[in-house]
Structure formats: C-alpha cells, structure tokens
Amino acid sequence: MRLGIGLWLLVIGMMLPVAGMGADFRYSLSLDRHEAWVKAPIVLRFSVEQTDASKVMFFDFKPLGKGSLKAIRLDKKIDNAPHHRKVDFTYLLFGLKPGTATLMFDLLVRRTNEETIAQSTTGGRYNVKDVETQDTHEPIPPETIRLKPLPAPVELVGDFTLTGRVSAKETRAGEPIYLTVRLKGVGYPPPKRLIHLRLPGVDIFEDAPKVSLRYASNGARYDATYTYALKADHDFSIPSFVLKAFSPTSGELYRLKTKKIDIHVLPVKKTETPVRNEMIEKEKTATDGWETLKEVLFYGALFLIGYISGHLWIKISRIRNEK
C-alpha cells in the first residue's frame, strides 16, 4: 500500500508545475504530459517574472530537445509593468524517437537600469538592441519525457480525412479532366509531397500542392490540396489513394482510402464526313467553272465594245470629211 501511494505522489508531482527562482526573478514550468506517443503533441508552458524592482529586466526562453524533440513556439505574452516585467511562453513539442528524452531549457535574462537606458539612443523604452545589458543564461532543471513507439509504421500521426473527386467521368481524346485530392486534419505535419500519381499511357500535369499549416495546442492543423490535369486517348482508371495512419487520441491504427474512379474517353469528334468533303469539292469545281466563264464573257464584251467603237469612229470621220 505504501508503494502504491508513493507512485501516485510521484505521478502527481510530475504533473504539477515546476517552480524556481533566481536572485531577482521567479519562474514556473509545466508540461501537460510526461508520457506520449511519438509525434503526439505535448504542450509546454513557462512563465517568468521580475522580483527586483530596482532593475530593468528582459527574458527569453526556449526548450532544447537535442534532436529527439521538435519545438514550435505557439505564443509569447509580455506584461510590461514598470519594474515588474512578466513573460508567458507556450510551446508545442513533438517527440521524434521512441524512448526516454531529456528536455533541456535555455533561459536568457538581460539586466540593465534606467540610467543606461536613458543614455542610449534607441528612442524606445524597451528597445534593447543598442542598450548595454548584462546577459546570463540561468540554469533550469531538465524534464524527462517518455516517448512510446507507434504500434506500426504509418504515414500519418493524428486525425485526418482524405477525399478525391474529378471534374467529369467522361471526356474526349485530347481533352483533359481534372482530379482534386484533399488531405485534411490535425496531428503531426505530413510531408508536402505525400500524394503521388502515376498512370501509364496517361499524360499527367501536376500543380504544386496548396498547403495550409497552422499550429495549435492539439497539434498542427493541416489542409493540403493536390490538383492534376489528365489526358488520354483511351479509357483509364484512377486507382485508390491509400494512407496508413495512427490516432494518438484513440490509440488506434486506421486507413484513409479514396474510391477508384473509372474514366471513359470518347474518340475525337469529326467535324466533316467524306460525303460532305465530296460536296464541297463539287461546289468548288462549279464555282471555279463559273468564275472562268464570267472572265471569258467579260473580256469578250470588252473586245466587242472596242470593235464597235472603232467602226463607229471611222464612219463618223467619213461623214465629217464629206461635209
């Protein structure tokens, strides 16, 4: 019974915030869990505040995972109360390797005073770029996190959905149809080029994936859209896309799968038939003959008019001479 109580006290102690203080500041640190699946989100919160009112102090903080943890800062809130500066940091952590990971911390404290700030030329009360400060990296005890291995190799860790649709299921040879695949969910951010499409005998034109990625306390909110233009001169099928996934929320493996899509390709639409071509040739021949006849008649009429005009001119000249 004593051992059981001791274990419970140890677990409760691990969940409580870790508090500490230096000569002129105090801090608190907490993790929402000390055990998690690989690539499952862990939330780290760190608060630090000034306790020595005679100084002007600035704080910066970050976790150090040494390759076994990935850290993303979610938020940083600053309270600029005079001589009582306070900063709250929130980080999202992902464990990358199974086993025990030691989480280290870097707390940078910068100290100065009003006189030094007044002598600077920065122009801003809290602009410390050109202000001379005394910087120290304050020690913070490390935290230990146990990372559980995934139950099987998967491509996704989190809760995701996968859908696929086409602009049409029937097209003509040489005319494209458009395929859109969308991967959406919350969890560990997937690689950008996770969806691949290969269809022998089909021309594939692929756009760069459109990816939206935002981090929150429950993980990365991911939304990716893959777009393809497909052209072929024969029927073809778009196979199912299948992705293996694991949900840390439920602790279960699952599969994402789109439906197979069959595409019917019609032959090229013929705009003119052989009979129509023959009629056009006949019409063209008749038109050419009529144009030739009009040209002969035109020049014949000119010759006749010239001939008659010449005789009339000679006759009129004789009459004038006789008179």
Which residues, 6+ apart, have CB-to-CB distance to 148 below 8 Å? 35, 36, 37, 38, 98
Amino acid 268: pLDDT: 86
This prediction has a pTM of 0.73
Residue 152 pLDDT greater than 50, yes or no: yes
Residue 299 pLDDT greater than 80, yes or no: no
Query: What rounded mean pLDDT belongs to the chain?
Result: 84
Amino acid 66: pLDDT: 75
| 193 vs 252: which has the higher pLDDT | 252
Instruction: Answer yes or no: are the C-beta atoms of 148 and 101 closer than 8 Å.
Output: no
User: What is the C-alpha R_g of the chain?
Assistant: 42
Cα–chain center distance at 264 = 31
Average pLDDT of the segment spanning 178-189: 97
Residue 86 pLDDT greater than 90, yes or no: yes
Report H helices in the chain. 2-15, 114-119, 274-322
**DSSP E strands, the chain:** 18-21, 25-31, 35-37, 41-50, 56-64, 69-79, 86-95, 99-112, 134-138, 143-148, 156-166, 170-172, 177-187, 203-206, 210-216, 219-231, 236-238, 242-247, 252-257, 261-266
Which residues, 6+ apart, have CB-to-CB distance to 208 below 8 Å? none
Give the position of tokens 């004593």. 2
Residue 6 pLDDT greater than 50, yes or no: no
Q: Is the dihedral of CA 33, 38, 40, 43 positive or negative?
A: positive
What pLDDT band is residue 15 in, cutting at 50, 70 and 90?
very low
pLDDT tens, position by position, 18-71? 666 668 999 999 999 999 999 999 999 999 999 999 899 999 999 997 788 999
